[in-house]
Amino acid sequence: MDKPASESQRLAADIGLENAAPEVLEQLPLAAATARKHKSALKTFALVPGDEPAVVFSAERSGAK
């Protein structure tokens, strides 16, 4: 197996798509690189443990109008 193919196979295994079709496999390296780029833009070091997500679960009072 050549090098690019093995890289794609490793990425496919990482995301649980071991049996991915060839057209999917060949797109995985760029998809992974794009994901890394997006993540690198996020300054998560500024977060403290108490910083809640923007979308959180909240209970609704039963029968509330």
Partner 1 sequence: MKDLAYLGVADAVPLLREKKLSPVEYTNALIARIEKHDPSLNAFLRFTPEIAMKDAQTAEAEIMRGEWRGPFHGVPYGLKDIVDYAGLPTTAHSRILIDNVAKSDAFVTQRLRAGGGVFMGKLSTHEFALGGPCFDLPWPPARNPWNREHFCGGSSSGSGAATAAGFLPAAIGTDTGGSIRNPATMCGVVGMKPTYGLVSRSGVVPLAFSLDHVGPLTRGVRDNALMLDVIAGHDPQDPGSVKSESSGFASGIDSGIKGLRIGVLRHFYNKDMVADPEVVAGIEAAVQVLEKEGAKVREINTFSLQEYLGCNRIILTSEAYAIHEAWLRDKPEDYGDRTRQRLLTGAFMKAADYINANRVRRKLSQSFNALFADVDVIITASAMDLPCRIDDDEQVEYTYGRQARAPFNVTGGPAMSVPVGFSKSGLPLGMQLVGKPFSEAVLYRTAYAYEQAVNWGDTHPGFE
Q: Is 38 in the site for partner 1 (CB under 8 A)?
A: yes
Q: Is 65 in the site for partner 1 (CB under 8 A)?
A: no
Largest CA distance in the chain: 63
Judge residue 8's burial from the number of C-beta atoms within 10 Å of its C-beta, 0-12 exposed, 13-18 middle, 19 or more buried: buried
**Judged by CB, which is closer to partner 1: 6, or 34?**
34
Phi and psi, residue 45, nearest 5°: -65, -20
In the set 1, 3, 51, 59, which binds partner 1 (CB under 8 A)?
Answer: 51
Q: Is 42 in the site for partner 1 (CB under 8 A)?
A: yes
By rule CB under 8 A, what count of residues binds partner 1?
Answer: 31
Q: Rounded to an integer, what distance in angstroms lies between the CA atom of residue 28 and that of residue 26?
A: 6
Q: Is 8 in the site for partner 1 (CB under 8 A)?
A: no
